[in-house]
């Protein structure tokens, strides 16, 4: 047993204790409140007694009072589940797929979403976030470097300011390039990949003019970093900007998230950009669209609302903190992975094409005061319905209401390959189905361009439910703009209110629980009226029948 040093903890607070305070700080980004191994950090108080050892294969941790009385206990994996103070099976790490490693996974208590305080203790695995029987607050993970304490709270904001909504491939380039071109002081981007030459040239030009340009990108996208991106990042660095990557193969670090997949920017600390799209020519073609174009269906929202900007600033500051996180590696010309392209590489400037006629020549811009929720993974993408978020937004819909979903993909179930929609439901998909069961009109349009069969399986599953239950629910595959649906957009009209959700969050379990993702949902008639007609055009071009409300089609 070890004995805590003399510490005074305020009510409703807690501390981390680690075997090695220095190693802990390297992984977590801050120092623990105490350490129980060697005295590696003299500024951190030490526990007294023999060094604790927690085996990866299982064990138990017991908290005792001064008189030796048992206060609390946890048993994990192969530990002694008959331990006094514990009931039932041990806590197991949640590892349904390779996106959730047991190594480094933190077992943590379920908590109250408003206060952050642990829920009442029952001395069972049901108290813990890895609880396999709880599909809402359980089946979750945490890894070193996450900021659950800071960001795992519902975020409903009064958003006052100017708003711009854009549709890809129609006018998304214009909105994004315009925001970057207008920057006077700073551009901070958190993205997955960056392969758009014209946008890269805009960023380089702003950096050359003294604007502080910083990009944080994913270090390991599928297929690796393209030479096109290497060329663009070199262009930005040579002009005085900075490009960083979230990595797991430098500095002895493990990256915090399964993927850095968010797509947002903060410009001049005054404008927030949230998008479904990567910075690529397919998502944001810059061709002359008078004869049509080709690209990916996507969406974006920009706003000057200070509350939204401040939230994105805080999220960016937590993610991009090289002083405290080792999983951040800056572009270096000589680095074989995070460096320059091959000598003589010529980038592609070609974007767009013909075959799709844009619906909107321009983004929509207006000023107003909106209710907005900022939603992000891994913290708040799956809030319980009574706390808001996407599930809460969809839960508003009932008889006579409408839910429209346009999504790159929705998995038919979560969990492992042997699971089913019953044993491991996709909570997003289940929310759409439940809305239809309450009497709402629900339409789900999934991508056909990239699909390898998963979306087709989801459509077949939904079609079987419709056949069995006769509810007003339909699902289709489509490719209305020629290069795929990359959108992550949900529209809800319920009780006279119109809501729009857009951002980077896909329909996999990891996207909500293990990635860094970002979305925003706003209550706005104007935003809904901009995107709903696009949905219905995409729906009908994919073989669906349109709504009875002619206002959807202009």
Q: Where are the domains of the chain?
A: 156-330, 375-552
Query: Whole-angstrom Cα distance, residue 136 to residue 122?
Result: 18
Read off the pLDDT of each residue in 106-120 and give the average, rounded to a whole number: 97
pLDDT value at position 554?
A: 30
Q: Is the pLDDT of residue 509 over 50?
A: yes
* Structural contact between residues 83 and 124, judged by C-beta atoms closer than 8 angstroms: no
With cut-offs at 50, 70 and 90, classify the pLDDT of residue 553. very low
**What pLDDT, on a 0 to 100 scale, did the predictor assign at position 88?**
98
| pLDDT score, position 549 | 43
Judge if pTM exceeds 0.85.
yes
Burial (CB count <10 Å: 0-12, 13-18, 19+), residue 7: exposed
485 CB-near residues (< 8 Å, 6+ apart): 296, 297, 406, 407, 408, 445, 446, 447, 448, 449, 478, 479, 538
Query: 246 forms bridges with which residues in the sheet?
Result: 218, 328
DSSP string for residues in 68-125: S-EEEEEEEETS-TT-TT--SSPB----SSTTS-STTPPP-B-B-TTT-PBPPP-SSG
* pLDDT value at residue 52: 87
Segment 465-493 mean pLDDT:
99
Please give the pLDDT value at position 7: 84
Looking at residue 504, its pLDDT comes to 99
> Which class for 78: exposed (0-12), middle (13-18), buried (19 or more C-beta within 10 A)?
middle
Q: What is the mean predicted confidence (pLDDT) over 503-532?
A: 99
- Which pLDDT value is given to residue 108? 98
The whole-chain average pLDDT of the chain stands at 97
Domain 156-330 shares a fold with domain 375-552: yes
What pLDDT, on the 0 to 100 scale, is given for residue 458? 99
Q: Rounded CA gap, 272 and 263, in Å?
A: 11
Span 398-419, pLDDT tens digits: 999 999 999 999 999 999 999 9
Q: In this predicted structure, what is the pLDDT of residue 6?
A: 85
pLDDT tens, 167-203?
999 999 999 999 999 999 999 999 999 999 999 999 9
Model confidence at 53, pLDDT cuts 50, 70, 90, reads confident
**Which pLDDT tens digit goes with each residue over 319-352?**
999 999 999 999 999 999 999 999 999 999 999 9
| In the block, residue with structure tokens 């944080």 | 216
Q: Is domain 156-330 annotated with CATH 3.30.870.10?
A: yes
The residue-averaged pLDDT of 500-517 equals 99
Return phi, psi of residue 427, to 5°: -65, -30
Residue 34's CB is within 10 A of a number of other CB atoms, namely 18
pLDDT value at residue 277: 99
Nearby residues of 452 by Cβ (< 8 Å), 6 or more positions away: none
What are the beta bridge partners of residue 498? 493
Q: What is the pLDDT of residues 410-462, one digit of tens each?
A: 999 999 999 999 999 999 999 999 999 999 999 999 999 999 999 999 999 99
State percent of the chain over pLDDT 90.
94
Residues 6+ apart with CB under 8 A from 433: 442, 462, 465, 473
Q: Is residue 166's pLDDT more than 60? A: yes
249: Cα within 13 Å, side-chain hemisphere: 7
The alpha carbon of residue 313 and the mean position of all alpha carbons in its chain are separated, in whole angstroms, by 16
CATH classification code of 375-552: 3.30.870.10
What would the pLDDT profile of 199-226 be if each residue is shown by its tens digit? 999 999 999 999 999 999 999 999 999 9
Give the pLDDT confidence of 273-322 residue by residue, as tens digits: 999 999 999 999 999 999 999 999 999 999 999 999 999 999 999 999 99
């Amino acid at each position: 047993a070890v004995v805590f040093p003399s510490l005074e903890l305020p009510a409703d607070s807690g501390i981390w204790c680690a075997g090695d305070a220095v190693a802990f700080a390297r992984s977590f980004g801050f120092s623990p409140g105490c350490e129980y191994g060697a005295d590696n950090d003299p500024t951190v108080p030490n526990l007294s007694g023999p060094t604790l050892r927690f085996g990866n294969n299982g064990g138990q941790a017991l908290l005792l009072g001064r008189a030796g009385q048992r206060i609390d206990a946890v048993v994990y994996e192969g530990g002694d589940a008959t331990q006094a103070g514990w009931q039932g099976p041990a806590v197991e790490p949640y590892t349904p797929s390779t996106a959730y490693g047991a190594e480094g996974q933190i077992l943590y208590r379920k908590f109250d979403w408003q206060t952050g305080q642990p829920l009442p203790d029952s001395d069972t695995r049901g108290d813990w976030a890895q609880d396999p029987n709880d599909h809402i607050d359980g089946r979750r993970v945490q890894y070193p470097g996450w900021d659950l304490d800071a960001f795992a709270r519902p975020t409903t904001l009064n958003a006052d300011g100017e708003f711009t909504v854009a549709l890809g491939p129609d006018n998304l380039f214009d909105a994004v390039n315009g925001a970057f071109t207008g920057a006077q002081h700073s551009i901070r981007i958190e993205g997955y990949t960056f392969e758009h030459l014209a946008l890269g040239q805009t960023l380089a030009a702003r950096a050359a003019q003294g604007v502080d340009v910083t990009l944080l990108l994913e270090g390991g996208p599928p297929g690796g970093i393209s030479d096109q991106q290497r060329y663009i990042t070199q262009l930005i660095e040579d002009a005085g900007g900075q490009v960083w990557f979230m990595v797991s193969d430098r500095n002895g670090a493990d990256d915090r998230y399964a993927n850095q997949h968010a797509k947002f920017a903060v410009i001049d600390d005054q404008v927030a950009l949230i998008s479904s799209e990567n910075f690529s020519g397919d998502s944001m073609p810059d061709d002359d669209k008078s004869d049509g174009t080709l690209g990916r269906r996507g969406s974006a929202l920009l706003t000057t609302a200070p509350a939204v900007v401040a939230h994105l600033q805080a999220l960016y500051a937590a993610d991009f903190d090289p002083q405290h996180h080792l999983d951040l590696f800056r572009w270096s010309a000589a680095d074989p992975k995070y460096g320059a392209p091959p000598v003589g590489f010529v980038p592609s400037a070609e974007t767009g094409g013909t075959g799709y006629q844009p619906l909107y020549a321009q983004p929509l811009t207006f000023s107003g005061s909106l209710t907005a929720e900022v939603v992000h993974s891994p913290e708040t993408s799956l809030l319980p319905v009574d706390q808001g978020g996407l599930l809460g937004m969809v839960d508003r819909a009932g008889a006579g209401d409408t839910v429209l979903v346009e999504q790159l993909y929705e998995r038919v179930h979560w969990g492992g390959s042997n699971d089913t929609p019953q044993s491991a439901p996709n909570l997003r998909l289940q929310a759409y189905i439940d809305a239809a069961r309450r009497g709402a009109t629900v339409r789900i349009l999934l991508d056909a361009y990239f699909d390898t069969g998963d979306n087709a399986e989801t459509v077949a599953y939904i079609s079987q439910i419709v056949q069995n239950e006769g509810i007003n629910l339909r699902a289709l595959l489509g490719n209305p703009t020629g290069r795929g649906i990359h959108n992550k957009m949900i529209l809800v009209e319920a009780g006279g209110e119109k809501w729009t959700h857009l951002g980077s969050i896909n329909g996999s379990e990891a996207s909500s629980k293990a990635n860094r993702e970002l979305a925003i949902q706003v209550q706005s008639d104007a935003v809904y009226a901009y995107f709903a007609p696009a949905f219905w055009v995409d729906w009908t071009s994919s073989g669906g029948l349109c709504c009875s409300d002619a206002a959807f089609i202009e």
